[in-house]
């Protein structure tokens, strides 16, 4: 049982964050790649979903070797996406519609095309040299240590001219910035100021838990349980235990400094990308005296098996621990690095998952297209573009193209994403003629309208936002039941993770309050205490 929330909530606590992958949202200039004007044109659609903020994956100048996560100029827009004027117009229109705008801030590494790195390459005593992480070769002339890149191969590349290696936790064209250098921190903090002064409301901070590395540069120990890495799906990177390249004490310090910069402006926020277990994740919220990120991304709905008992257990622990830490929880089912959740949990469980995301206590993040039930799109080898996938071309689990395909707006050729006859940067799903916004708009039973029904319920029942969370024993392994309570308002969320009907009862000692069904994922309105059908999600108002 958690404490009810007192006082008023901030927008990033009460609202839903909607992530846009700009290359795939809406193309307006006919190059088959989405752009800022396209996003601006679609903002009314986003507002109509009942979400409160949009987060744009990187739109900065970039050679696009990691599709924008390799930034060549942090304070300019890539011409592919438009201009600073287009961006200002986007922010203005978003604000007019009551939407906040969040950018993707990529502090761990720049592109090798960035002027800073180009300077650093010039000589060992160039003033920018120490802005990146350099090491001499090992005595045998090889790499300085065994550290690996997420995308395969060593985390070190030799600069022939100077005879030194530079560090990159991702591609060789994404050199790691040296956050130990105070000049780097100042330059990167000025980037935040630049965008906040332009009206940006918040930032998603890329791989924030990787900012610092241990200064001894020791080999990392071998990992006996190597598995697919959480970003990019490679196995090789997870053959090491990353005790020297992740989650370092200095990283915590730098984030505290970063937070002070965010707090120079009113009502701004940052959410940090952090793939860590709960006990290491929550400290990224910081303390009241030394706050860190407003939301440390909680990816556990992605990382855990789709299993009612395990998810309940995690939700209980996370809710309690967040309360104890004074931190606000958050939930994520999908993003541009993870396979589409409808594909992951299966079509039958899709609405159960969507209901869970939007009713648990904490800020939900929604990945574009998930509201219409977009699925992974199989990408033929010749069309693969993600560098992480290209490293392991025969492994369909690696690679992130399948979840990055163009938004499906309507049934016209190219799904309304771009003009007919244009080659889109990634292929469209072959089901776009039926799975698209326009087709679902007027169908009361569509996934899109189910999503809207859920966001509407959050508006009419603040218990779903600020209320306490308490899970209940359903007596069935497949059924996850929880209550959200705020004042006199109590909602019961009943989720059947299985394919069998179960009576909706509680174990002795718990009370089932009389109630009224507000929403069922099966498009009808069964009595509140009717058996919970296979794959049903039901929300009941208790009175």
Task: Report the catalytic residues.
Answer: 206, 273
Binding mask 427-466 for ligand GLC (x = CB under 6 A): ----------------------------------------
**Count of residues that interact with ligand GLC, criterion CB under 6 A:** 10
Binding of Mg ion by 33 (CB under 5 A): yes
Phi, psi angles (nearest 5°) of residue 474: -90, -20
For ligand GLC, give the closer residue by CB, 336 or 351.
336
For ligand GLC, give the closer residue by CB, 89 or 384.
384
Query: Alpha helices of 237-307 — where are they, by DSSP H?
Result: 249-262, 278-281, 300-303
* Residue 489 CB contacts under 8 Å (≥ 6 apart), including other chains: 461, 462, 463, 467, 541
Binding mask 326-365 for ligand GLC (x = CB under 6 A): ----------xx----------------------------
Query: Alpha helices of 36-174 — where are they, by DSSP H?
Result: 36-48, 84-96, 115-120
Closest of 54, 57, 59, 56 to residue 17, by C-alpha: 54
For Mg ion, give the closer residue by CB, 355 or 424.
424
Binding of ligand GLC by 206 (CB under 6 A): yes
C-alpha to C-alpha distances, 490 to 197, 462, 484, 511, nearest whole angstrom: 41, 10, 6, 13
Mode of pairing for the β-strands spanning 330-332 and 363-367:
parallel
Residue 418 CB, nearest approach to Mg ion (Å): 7
Orientation of helix 182-197 relative to helix 249-262, angle to 10°: 30
- Give the one residue of 18, 20, 35, 520 binding Mg ion; rule: CB under 5 A: 35
**In the complex, which residue's CB is closest to ligand GLC?**
69
203 binds, among ligand GLC, Mg ion, none (CB under 5 to 8 A by kind): none
Contacts of ligand GLC in 212-231 (CB under 6 A) = 231
Closest of 440, 377, 433, 435 to residue 403, by C-alpha: 377
401 binds, among Mg ion, ligand GLC, none (CB under 5 to 8 A by kind): none
33 binds, among ligand GLC, Mg ion, none (CB under 5 to 8 A by kind): Mg ion
- Give the one residue of 9, 11, 29, 217 binding Mg ion; rule: CB under 5 A: 29
C-alpha to C-alpha distances, 34 to 92, 115, 425, nearest whole angstrom: 19, 26, 9
Binding of Mg ion by 27 (CB under 5 A): yes
Buried b (16+ CB within 10 A) or exposed e, 87-100: beebbebbeeeebb
Strands (E), 21-155: 53-56, 60-61, 73-77, 100-105, 134-135
Contacts of ligand GLC in 60-99 (CB under 6 A) = 66, 69
35 binds, among ligand GLC, Mg ion, none (CB under 5 to 8 A by kind): Mg ion
- Give the one residue of 170, 244, 284, 367 binding ligand GLC; rule: CB under 6 A: 170
Tell me the C-alpha distance between 373 and 135, whole Å: 47
Binding of Mg ion by 31 (CB under 5 A): yes
- Give the one residue of 72, 207, 357, 435 binding ligand GLC; rule: CB under 6 A: 207
Tell me the helices (H) and strands (E) count for the chain, helix number first: 15, 18
Binding of ligand GLC by 403 (CB under 6 A): no
For ligand GLC, give the closer residue by CB, 111 or 455.
111
Binding of ligand GLC by 189 (CB under 6 A): no
For Mg ion, give the closer residue by CB, 17 or 426.
426
Terminal CA-CA length for the chain? 19
Binding of ligand GLC by 176 (CB under 6 A): no
The residues that touch ligand GLC, with contacts defined as CB under 6 A, are 66, 69, 106, 170, 206-207, 231, 273, 336-337
């Amino acid at each position: 049982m958690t404490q009810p929330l007192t006082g008023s909530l901030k927008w990033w606590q009460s609202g839903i964050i909607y992530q846009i992958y700009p290359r795939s949202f809406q193309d307006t200039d006919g190059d088959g790649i989405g752009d800022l004007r396209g996003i601006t044109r679609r903002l009314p659609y986003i507002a109509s979903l009942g979400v409160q903020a949009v987060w744009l994956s990187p739109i900065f100048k970039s050679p696009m070797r990691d599709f924008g996560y390799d930034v060549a100029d942090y304070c300019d827009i890539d011409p592919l996406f438009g201009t600073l004027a287009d961006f200002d117009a986007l922010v203005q229109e978003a604000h007019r519609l009551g939407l906040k705008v969040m950018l993707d801030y990529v502090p761990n590494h720049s592109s090798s095309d960035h002027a800073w790195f180009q300077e650093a390459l010039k000589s060992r005593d160039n003033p920018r040299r120490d802005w990146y992480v350099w090491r001499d070769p090992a005595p045998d002339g090889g790499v300085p240590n065994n550290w690996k890149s997420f995308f395969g191969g060593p985390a070190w590349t030799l600069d022939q001219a100077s005879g030194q290696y530079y560090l990159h936790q991702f591609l060789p064209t994404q050199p790691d910035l040296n956050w130990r250098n105070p000049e780097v921190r100042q330059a990167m903090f000025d980037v935040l100021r630049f965008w906040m002064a332009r009206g940006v409301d918040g930032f998603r901070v890329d791989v924030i838990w990787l900012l610092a590395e241990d200064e001894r540069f020791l080999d990392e120990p071998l990992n006996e349980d190597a598995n697919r890495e959480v970003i990019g799906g490679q196995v090789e990177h997870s053959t090491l235990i990353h005790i020297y390249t992740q989650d370092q004490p200095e990283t915590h310090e730098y984030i505290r400094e970063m937070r002070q910069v965010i707090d120079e402006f009113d009502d701004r926020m940052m959410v940090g990308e952090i793939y860590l277990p709960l006990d290491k994740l929550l400290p990224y919220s910081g303390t009241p005296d030394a706050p860190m990120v407003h939301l440390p991304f909680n990816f556990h709905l992605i990382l855990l098996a789709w299993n009612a008992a395990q998810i309940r257990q995690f939700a209980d622990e996370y809710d309690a621990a967040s309360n104890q830490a004074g931190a606000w929880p958050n939930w994520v089912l999908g993003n541009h690095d993870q396979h589409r959740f409808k594909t992951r949990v299966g079509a039958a469980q899709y609405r159960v998952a969507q209901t869970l995301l939007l009713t648990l206590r904490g800020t939900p993040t929604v990945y574009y297209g998930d509201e219409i039930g977009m699925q992974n799109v199989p990408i033929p080898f010749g069309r693969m573009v993600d560098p992480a996938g290209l490293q392991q071309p025969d492994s369909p689990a690696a690679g992130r193209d399948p979840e990055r395909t163009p938004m499906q707006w309507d049934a016209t050729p190219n799904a309304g994403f771009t003009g007919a006859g244009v080659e889109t940067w990634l292929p469209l799903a072959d089901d776009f003629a039926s799975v698209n916004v326009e087709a679902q708009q007027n169908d009361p039973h569509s996934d899109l309208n189910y999503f809207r029904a859920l966001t509407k319920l959050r508006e009419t029942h603040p218990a779903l936002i600020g209320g306490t969370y308490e899970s209940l024993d359903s007596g069935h392994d497949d059924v996850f039941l929880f209550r959200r309570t705020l004042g006199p308002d109590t909602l019961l969320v009943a989720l059947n993770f299985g394919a069998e009907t179960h009576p909706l009862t509680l174990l002795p000692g718990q009370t089932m309050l009389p109630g009224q069904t507000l929403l069922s994922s099966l498009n009808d309105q069964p009595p509140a205490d009717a058996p919970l059908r296979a794959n049903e999600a039901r929300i009941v108002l208790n009175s």
